[in-house]
Amino acid sequence: MLNARAVGSLHEFGRYVNDLEFRARRTMGAEDAKAFLLEWLKDIGYEKHLYDGEDNEKVAAARWTNVLDFIDWMAARCGGEIDDTAGVSLAAERKSLLEVAQTIALLSTISEREKDQNVVTLSTLHASKGLEWPHVVLAGCVEGMLPFKPEDAEGGVMTESFIQRLQEERRLMYVGITRAQRSLAVSWSKKRKKGRELVPAQPSRFIAEMALDKTTVKEDPREKLKALRAEFAKKSAEAAAAAAAASGAA
């Protein structure tokens, strides 16, 4: 049980992290990204931390140089500069600092798990750009989540800003469905949680736009769960019968 002071500190830390996420999401381009990162490292005193933690000043200086090089690399990615396999710099779409950070985190996770392929990788749509998996599940594709808050177009009035945001989220849906190499599952729910309440949910309009044909498999998760349970019960009964027969023969 945490005391009031500890709870207050935890809430303050949460607000700090949320503020960083908010700012990083809106930081675009190389110059702004570099300024943001340098300011953040200054705020947390990271350079001093490196020097205080090392007896050898040259080692600390080398580590700080590596940090600055990494900042330059991230800033370049935010500005749309990437390197191909031959090391040649290419121009690409500018990204927010949050998108670049998410991509790095996801690639690091994949690299750590590359020896074990029997894993589930969780990813945002933004961070999945440029990556592929044998099987992909897009969960929670309902109005209000993808696209986010479509009710903003009140009274059916489609403002220019709303149309642009809708188009951006349509591109995100396309990113999601094209990450799959062998199979793609798209799910939605009849109800979703909104605050503390469960409210009716509608499938995302992007699903209808996919124009799925009649050969597309549609599954009821409850029926599939029942079938799996029945199959498991059957196998268990067969195993028990085989064990009993073996025991009787002995």
Task: Give residue 110's pLDDT band: very low, low, confident or very high (50, 70, 90).
Answer: low
Cα separation, 38 vs 91, whole angstroms: 24
Q: Residue 138: pLDDT above 60?
A: yes
Q: Residue 90: pLDDT above 60?
A: no
Mean pLDDT, range 138-147, rounded to an integer: 88
Domain layout of the chain by residue ranges: 1-121, 132-218, 223-250
> For 142, which DSSP code?
B
Predicted pLDDT at 151:
57
Ordered alpha helix ranges (H), the chain: 4-25, 30-43, 46-52, 57-78, 97-113, 160-177, 205-209, 221-249
CATH code that applies to domain 1-121? 1.10.486.10
Secondary element (H or E) of residue 212: none
Q: Residue 120: pLDDT above 90?
A: no
CB 174 within 8 A of CB 193: no
Mean pLDDT, range 222-235, rounded to an integer: 86
Predicted pLDDT at 19:
92
Give percent above pLDDT 90 in the chain. Answer: 28
Of residues 247 and 58, more confidently modeled: 58
pLDDT in tens, 171-211: 989 999 999 998 999 988 888 887 778 889 999 999 988 87
Q: Compute the half-sphere exposure of residue 166: CA atoms within 13 Å on the CB side of its CA.
A: 17
CATH code that applies to domain 132-218? 3.30.160.800
Lowest mean pLDDT among 6-20, 34-48, 77-91, 200-214: 77-91
CB 121 within 8 A of CB 170: no
User: In angstroms, how far is CA 176 from the centroid of its own chain?
Assistant: 11
Please give the single-letter amino acid code of residue 2.
L
Burial 126-145 (b: 16+ CB within 10 A, else e): bbbbeeebeebebeebbbbb
Predicted pLDDT at 156:
59
Average pLDDT, the chain: 83
Burial of 33 (0-12, 13-18, 19+ CB in 10 A): buried
Q: Does pTM surpass 0.95?
A: no
Q: Residue 85: pLDDT above 60?
A: no
pLDDT in tens, 237-249: 888 888 888 777 6
Q: Give Cβ neighbours of residue 207 (< 8 Å, ≥ 6 apart).
A: 141, 186, 188
Mean pLDDT, range 62-71, rounded to an integer: 93
Mean pLDDT, range 92-114, rounded to an integer: 77
Predicted pLDDT at 155:
57
Burial 65-99 (b: 16+ CB within 10 A, else e): eeeeeebeebbbbbbeeeeeeeeeeeeeeebbbbb
Q: What does the block give as tokens for 30?
A: 């190389």
Cα separation, 182 vs 18, whole angstroms: 36
Q: Provide the 3-class DSSP secondary structure of residue 91.
A: strand
Radius of gyration over every alpha carbon of the chain, rounded to an integer in angstroms: 25
Return the bridge partners of 142, or none.
203
